[in-house]
Amino acid sequence: VNVGQAVSEGDKLVSLEAMKMVTHVVARHGGKVTNIAVKPGDPVDAGQVLLTIG
């Protein structure tokens, strides 16, 4: 996704890979992506904000 992009509930936003397993993060609600807090390849922690939908 990109900043400014409209998303709907259930849209796939991010794919996270850990130990060769991929988990998809989907939108809980619709709106516009207002911020992306990480770049592809960045390590992330549990509970970390990846992006914001406004």
Q: Could you list the residue range(s) of the whole structural domain that residue 10 is in? A: 6-53
pTM (whole model) above 0.75 = yes
Q: What is the pLDDT, as a whole number, of residue 17?
A: 94
Percentage of the chain beyond pLDDT 90 is: 100
Q: What is the pLDDT, as a whole number, of residue 3?
A: 98
Quote the number of domains for the chain: 1
Residue with tokens 């850990």: 18
Residue 1: inside a domain, yes or no?
no
pLDDT (mean) for 20-39: 97
Q: What is the pLDDT, as a whole number, of residue 6?
A: 99
Q: Which two tokens stand for residue 53?
A: 């939908």
What is the average pLDDT value for the chain, to the nearest integer? 96
12-51 burial: b if 16+ Cβ within 10 Å, else e: ebbeeeeeeeeeeeebeeeeebeebeeeeeeeeeeeeeeb
Read off the pLDDT band of 10 (50, 70, 90).
Answer: very high
